[in-house]
Amino acid sequence: MKIKGRNIKQKINNINVSFNDLGRKEAPSIIFIHGFPFNKSIWDAQAEALKDNYRVITYDIRGHGESSVGMEIFTIELFVKDLIALMDILKIKKTIICGLSMGGYIALNAIENYPERFEALILSDTQSIADTPEVKEKRMNAVDAIRKHGVEKFANESIKNLFSSESFKTKTAEIAAVKAMILSTAEQVLYFTLLALTNRKGTSGNLPNIKVPVLIMVGEEDKITPPAQARYMHEKTNDSVLATISQSAHIPNLENTPAFNEPLIEFLNSISKMALKTP
């Protein structure tokens, strides 16, 4: 049976979560988690590439995209609770999980606390360390700057760090789309999420305990979660593959989709019996 579901709304943990559920219900599932402050649409190209062979779920983290904010204080643990509740409601016992940046923090925390729910882990442009004092200070300065100067300035400053030099020349539509995602995120959600990010616990201690195959990807020019952090996670995990994505920085799945999808599909082929064609 084919599932054709975009922007489905489902009540979980007292919020309405918005998600896309594509592909066949009986196919192996893969859930993609976006970064901050983006939404599920950043995964459209990956969903399109995989939906013939996988049940592909992309969703908006609470407060982002079309998902509602709720009343609880944002924490990575709360975001993990939402992920597990979404899996439960969709009757997904076990899944492949893929998280970019904040999505990776969620995936790493989820696999630490619910290892039995995941059969493979894909990390992109993320890290297992907690915030350093300098990063914590930067986040608090960002909160002040949004209060004083508004979201537009925050969006413009963020964009400078998100994309590679090549993307600034060639990916104007993608950059405009990401800017629109930031601008459409409520100011309060920006504060709440910045606090959740800065209060998050590190997950490095659990890396050697991960028992499933891991793919770690990183844009070669990523300044936010740099390649050194990807290499660190690669060294600490027992069964991981590392792929550096050229001509990209913090959002390589958007900036250089073919170069991102190739290791993604190769990894999925290596852990499954189905052979997907690389682009």
- Report if residue 123 touches ligand MLT, rule: CB under 6 A: no
Binding of ligand MLT by 197 (CB under 6 A): yes
Contact between 35 and ligand MLT per CB under 6 A: yes
Q: Which listed residue (19, 32, 36, 192) binds ligand MLT by CB under 6 A?
A: 36
Sole residue written with tokens 């062979």: 53
Min dist. Cβ of residue 197 to ligand MLT (A): 5
Residue closer to ligand MLT, measured from CB, 249 or 265: 249
Which residues contact residue 185 at a Cβ distance below 8 angstroms, ignoring those fewer than 6 apart? 37, 63, 64, 151
If the CB atoms of residues 228 and 271 are measured against ligand MLT, the closer one turns out to be 228
| Coil vs helix vs strand at 122 | strand
Q: How far is the CB of 251 from ligand MLT (least distance, A)?
A: 8
> What's the rounded Cα separation, in Å, for the pair 244 and 155?
26
Q: Which of 20, 46, 101, 124 binds ligand MLT (CB under 6 A)?
A: 101
Count Cα atoms within 13 angstroms, Cβ side, for 266. Answer: 14
Name the residue nearer to ligand MLT (CB basis): 224 or 242: 224
Q: Which amino acid is at 89?
A: I
Q: What residues have CB less than 8 Å from 212, skipping those under 6 apart?
A: 111, 115, 118, 119, 120, 121, 239
For binding to ligand MLT (CB under 6 A), which residues are involved? 35-36, 101-102, 197, 224
